[in-house]
Amino acid sequence: MKTNLQKILSISGQPGLFNYLSHANSGVIVESLITKKRTMCGSTTRLTALSDISIYTTEEEIPLHVVLTKMHEKLGEQSAPDGKSQAEELKKFFAEVLPDYDRDRFYASHMKKVVEWYNILKDNASLDFELPDETKEN
């Protein structure tokens, strides 16, 4: 089953990723991909869909799903480096996966999030993504 990154959310201040379930009167109901625990996020909570995230390169911004796909092509069934890895190890990894990433705007803290998200999706969802065009058709 393909993963719809429009429904996979990062919640400010919360570790992990969440699956959007439903709209509620005062916010949204989400489910943790890791624990499967459901919770409600208020309307003031900062939610970001992974489909809205891009990575800076020297030429353009690359959508996150493209970067995650490149990571999967490189890693196969292996996990990405741990999010707690040293910054130099993460920079070396991204230099292999995305050689033209913008070294001035794509920080080690961003790299940590991306590898953590990759590992969560690999273990709890799918690395086969619904593209925006496919979502509109369904």
Give the Cβ contact number of residue 121 at 10 Å.
23
Q: Tell me the per-residue pLDDT of 72-126, one tens digit each, with 9 for 90 and over.
A: 999 999 999 998 999 999 999 999 999 999 999 999 999 999 999 999 999 999 8
Pick the CATH number of 52-124 from 3.40.50.720, 3.40.50.300, 3.90.550.10, 1.10.10.1650: 1.10.10.1650
Q: Cα separation of 57 and 23, whole Å?
A: 35
What are φ and ψ of residue 134, in 5° steps?
-65, -35
Contact by Cβ (8 Å): 19, 7 = yes
For the stretch 21-42, pLDDT in tens is: 999 888 999 999 999 999 999 9
Domain definitions of the chain by residue range: 8-49, 52-124
